[in-house]
């Protein structure tokens, strides 16, 4: 018998899945399941879908999903005009509590995404070099006829399914479905995910533009993943109806019927593959990097940070809009540090903020200290005498909504240079009146669009949006743009910012995606 005919005979008999196919299959399966759970949790924070560049609770939704109490909220405070001279854009403060578990869910989501991307790339490369994709997965030209597709589909619907031995050959419907998942569904899910990233879209704006905006990308991302979950459900049903135990043994151990020694060997192979993938993703963490606190979820955040710093241009600019693009924008989080009913209220700082506000912030000062040659303090008037920058940019909240607003302020770089930033400086920490704290690395601190904003939409910065001064970090998610600033500390290494910092409360330190 010739080599070709022997190979054909082996395949038709169901030789089982290759070892690398089995390992990548289960890593991808685990990743997709994790993405489903974490993605649903993320969606619950803002279960409204939009089309275009922006969308939030103060703008119409394309679709509202009843998956949490957030989808039909209890209401907002009386809306105020966003422009001092009028206009249609408004701002409002929430009057209700929301369900938001985005912190751990986002970190887990991106950790699973890294496993999916790395394993998926390995599968594609191995499939190309071994001929698996061409031989077993991609339909041949002669197979792709409507009659053959119809016959295969109706046969499966009538449960005329062979008692599969596990592995190729696949039916025509299987091939088409697997190709749609491998070459269309999963890549589209990854690309739309990147289309929602402030850092990635700043570097490659076409990723966002090809979908019509980041909110369109979010909507497509959700719809594609819903279809992938439907595929998983149908796939499991088909496996069950064609011999569940036999199929599971074939995909896990390589053959439908195995002795105990073969099971142990194959199990070791699978565990080794999973451990290797985990080591690839989680290895190399350093105490000098942004915080991990020894948690697996933080490892994924660190990997995202390293990858974006390595692969993205350092000076890419977030898209800037025209005044006609300015939209309504919610005010969330702490909206008044002097209000004792707010969750982050600090009695001492609240009383101080109230006194400063009563005097129109005339006595307010921004302290700049740490790794600088000339530590000191700046009044609001001092900051306004520096060359100002005005930018109309998109604010992307980790909850899922976004808005466009105009911000006026002094570039952070200007203030740091005036204070004499030292060459050894690596991080900049920010402290607010509500005891919140943030930090960014020096690359973001010196970015031209990172500003200390004292104006919004042509007027003074409103109280609810962080008066008298807030940070704007345009290439990260909104919660990095800390409000109610009173102190900046430049450091030579990362420092723990206390119990209200993001890593201590389950939130990622770097949120460029």
pLDDT at 2 (0 to 100): 42
Give a yes or no: residue 21 inside a domain.
Answer: yes
Q: Has residue 29 got a pLDDT over 60?
A: yes
Chain length of the chain: 513
Spatial distance between the Cα atoms of 55 and 46, rounded to a whole number of angstroms: 11
Q: Do both 385 and 266 map to the same domain?
A: no
pLDDT at 168 (0 to 100): 67
pLDDT at 147 (0 to 100): 83
Give a yes or no: residue 161 inside a domain.
Answer: yes
Q: Do both 142 and 194 map to the same domain?
A: yes
Q: Has residue 81 got a pLDDT over 80?
A: no
Q: Do both 54 and 198 map to the same domain?
A: yes
Give a yes or no: residue 82 inside a domain.
Answer: no
pLDDT > 90: what percent of the chain? 56
Of 501 and 434, the structure prediction assigns the larger pLDDT to: 434
Give a yes or no: residue 69 inside a domain.
Answer: no
Q: Do both 215 and 338 map to the same domain?
A: no
CATH at 337: 3.90.420.10
Q: Do both 54 and 153 map to the same domain?
A: yes
- Close Cβ partners of 44 (under 8 Å, ≥ 6 residues apart): 67, 68, 70, 99, 101
Across 121-133, average pLDDT: 93
Q: Look at the chain and report how many structural domains it folds into.
A: 2
Per residue in 270-323, pLDDT tens?
455 545 545 544 444 444 555 555 567 777 888 889 899 999 999 999 999 999
The half-sphere exposure of 348 on its side-chain side, counting CA atoms within 13 A, is 2
Q: Do 90 and 58 meet the contact criterion of CB atoms below 8 Å apart?
A: yes
pLDDT at 296 (0 to 100): 73
CATH at 104: 1.20.950.20
Of 145 and 49, the structure prediction assigns the larger pLDDT to: 49
Per residue in 319-356, pLDDT tens?
999 999 999 999 988 899 999 988 778 889 999 999 99
Q: Do both 247 and 337 map to the same domain?
A: no
Q: Do both 410 and 277 map to the same domain?
A: no
Q: Do both 203 and 327 map to the same domain?
A: no
Q: Do both 140 and 50 map to the same domain?
A: yes
Last residue of a domain, one of 282, 310, 333: 282
pLDDT band at 235 (very low <50, low <70, confident <90, very high): confident
Q: Do 495 and 414 meet the contact criterion of CB atoms below 8 Å apart?
A: no
Spatial distance between the Cα atoms of 510 and 477, rounded to a whole number of angstroms: 9
Give a yes or no: residue 116 inside a domain.
Answer: yes
Q: Has residue 45 got a pLDDT over 70?
A: yes
Domain of 263 in residue numbering reads as 17-63+100-282
pLDDT at 285 (0 to 100): 45
Give a yes or no: residue 456 inside a domain.
Answer: yes
Q: Do both 55 and 167 map to the same domain?
A: yes
pLDDT band at 7 (very low <50, low <70, confident <90, very high): very low
Last residue of a domain, one of 236, 253, 282: 282
Give a yes or no: residue 385 inside a domain.
Answer: yes
- Close Cβ partners of 90 (under 8 Å, ≥ 6 residues apart): 58, 79, 80, 81, 82, 328
Q: Do 400 and 478 meet the contact criterion of CB atoms below 8 Å apart?
A: no
Spatial distance between the Cα atoms of 346 and 435, rounded to a whole number of angstroms: 7
Q: Do 374 and 301 meet the contact criterion of CB atoms below 8 Å apart?
A: no
Give a yes or no: residue 260 inside a domain.
Answer: yes
Q: Has residue 219 got a pLDDT over 90?
A: yes
- pTM metric for this prediction: 0.86
Across 131-152, average pLDDT: 84
- Close Cβ partners of 204 (under 8 Å, ≥ 6 residues apart): none
pLDDT band at 263 (very low <50, low <70, confident <90, very high): very low
Q: Do both 349 and 494 map to the same domain?
A: yes
Last residue of a domain, one of 253, 282, 311: 282
Q: Do both 251 and 390 map to the same domain?
A: no
Q: Which helix (H) or strand (E) holds 25?
A: helix 19-45
């Amino acid at each position: 018998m010739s080599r070709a005919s022997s190979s054909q005979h082996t395949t038709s008999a169901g030789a089982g899945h290759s070892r690398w196919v089995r390992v990548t299959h289960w890593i991808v399966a685990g990743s997709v399941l994790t993405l489903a759970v974490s993605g649903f949790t993320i969606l619950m924070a803002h279960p409204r879908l939009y089309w275009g560049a922006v969308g939030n609770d103060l703008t119409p939704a394309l679709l509202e999903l009843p998956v949490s109490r957030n989808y039909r909220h209890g209401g907002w405070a009386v809306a105020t005009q966003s422009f001092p001279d009028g206009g249609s854009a408004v701002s409002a403060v929430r009057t209700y509590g929301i369900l938001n578990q985005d912190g751990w869910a986002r970190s887990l989501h991106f950790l699973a995404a890294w496993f999916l991307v790395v394993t998926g790339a390995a599968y594609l490369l191995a499939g190309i070099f071994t001929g698996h994709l061409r031989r077993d997965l991609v339909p041949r030209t002669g197979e792709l006829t409507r009659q053959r597709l119809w016959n295969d589909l109706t046969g499966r619907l009538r449960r005329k399914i062979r008692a599969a031995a596990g592995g190729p050959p696949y039916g025509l419907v299987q091939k088409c479905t697997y190709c749609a998942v491998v070459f269309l569904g999963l890549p589209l899910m990854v690309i739309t995910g990147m289309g929602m990233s402030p850092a990635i879209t700043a570097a490659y704006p076409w990723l966002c533009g090809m979908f019509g905006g980041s909110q369109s990308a979010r909507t497509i991302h959700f719809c594609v993943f819903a279809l992938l979950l439907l595929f998983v459900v149908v796939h499991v049903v088909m496996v069950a109806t064609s011999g569940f135990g036999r199929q599971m043994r074939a995909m896990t151990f390589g053959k439908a019927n195995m002795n105990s020694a073969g099971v142990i060997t194959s199990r070791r192979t699978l565990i080794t593959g999973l451990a290797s993938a985990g080591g690839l993703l989680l290895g190399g963490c350093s105490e000098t990097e942004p915080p991990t606190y020894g948690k697996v979820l933080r490892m994924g955040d660190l990997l995202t940070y390293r990858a974006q710093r390595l692969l993205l241009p350092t000076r890419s600019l977030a898209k800037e809009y025209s005044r006609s693009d300015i939209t309504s924008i919610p005010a969330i989080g702490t909206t008044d540090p002097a209000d004792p009913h707010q969750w982050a209220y600090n009695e001492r700082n609240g009383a101080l903020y109230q006194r400063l506000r009563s005097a129109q912030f005339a006595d307010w000062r921004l302290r700049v200290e740490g790794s600088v040659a000339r530590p000191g303090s700046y009044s609001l008037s001092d900051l306004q005498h520096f060359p100002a920058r005005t930018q109309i940019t998109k604010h992307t909240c980790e909850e899922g909504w976004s808005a466009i607003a105009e911000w006026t302020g002094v570039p952070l770089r200007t203030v740091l240079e005036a204070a004499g930033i030292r060459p050894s400086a690596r991080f900049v920490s920010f402290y607010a009146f509500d005891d919140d704290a943030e930090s960014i690395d020096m690359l973001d601190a010196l970015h031209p669009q990172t500003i200390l904003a004292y104006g919004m939409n042509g007027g003074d910065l409103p109280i609810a949006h962080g008066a008298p001064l807030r940070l704007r970090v345009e290439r990260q998610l909104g919660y990095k743009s800390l409000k109610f600033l009173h102190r900046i500390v430049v450091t030579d290494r990362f420092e723990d910012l206390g119990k209200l910092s993001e890593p201590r409360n389950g939130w990622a330190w770097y949120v460029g995606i």
